[in-house]
Amino acid sequence: NLVDNMHKKYRRGRAAALNMVITETGAGSAVAKALPSLEGKLTSNAIRVPVPNGSLVVLSLEVKKATSIAGINKIMKKYALEGELVEQIKYSLNNELVSSDIVGTSAPAIYDSNATIVAKDGKSIVLYIWYDNEYGYSHQVIRLAKYIAKVRRFTYY
């Protein structure tokens, strides 16, 4: 909506260019369908913001074993550079990443290593994962089509 108008959900009827709007998302249930072990363990919502593109996941986790920012970054860097998730996770060292930096990025997840937060007890962590919800999604559809069609090419790293 460009201006405030009627909507069955009042917030959704507010002017998009002037407001941040809390709304629902199916992301949590979609993750649970892909990873059944997470069923009932996730909640999700969305905040619509007045930017042309670029999205951010704020993942707040409670873990059993204490960890550190360095420990989390080491794990994320490993998965971004090796194995099956190489094309799925991009590891960012940018100190001041913002949504416009994400536009046109094909990676479905850009891990913002400098934004990670770990509580003093080491068990409460917050990860910031960016993605381009248009181009990144389109790239994933193409990747899935290639996988289904068994299109393979060698990748050298």
Q: Where are the domains of the chain?
A: 1-50, 53-157
E strand spans, the chain? 21-23, 46-48, 55-62, 89-92, 109-112, 117-118, 124-131
Report pLDDT digits (tens) over 11-25: 778 887 888 888 888
For residues 57 and 136, what is the distance between their CA atoms, to the nearest angstrom?
Answer: 14
Please state which architecture CATH assigns to domain 53-157. 2-Layer Sandwich (3.30)
For residue 50, what pLDDT band results from cuts at 50, 70 and 90? Answer: confident
pTM of the model: 0.82
The β-bridge partners of 109 are: 89
Over 60: is that where the pLDDT of 157 sits? Answer: no
Over 80: is that where the pLDDT of 137 sits? Answer: yes
Query: Which one-letter DSSP state was computed for residue 145?
Result: H
Q: Which of 154, 146, 56 is CA-nearest to residue 100?
A: 56
For residue 155, what pLDDT band results from cuts at 50, 70 and 90? Answer: low
Report pLDDT digits (tens) over 68-81: 999 999 999 999 99
pLDDT value at residue 21: 85
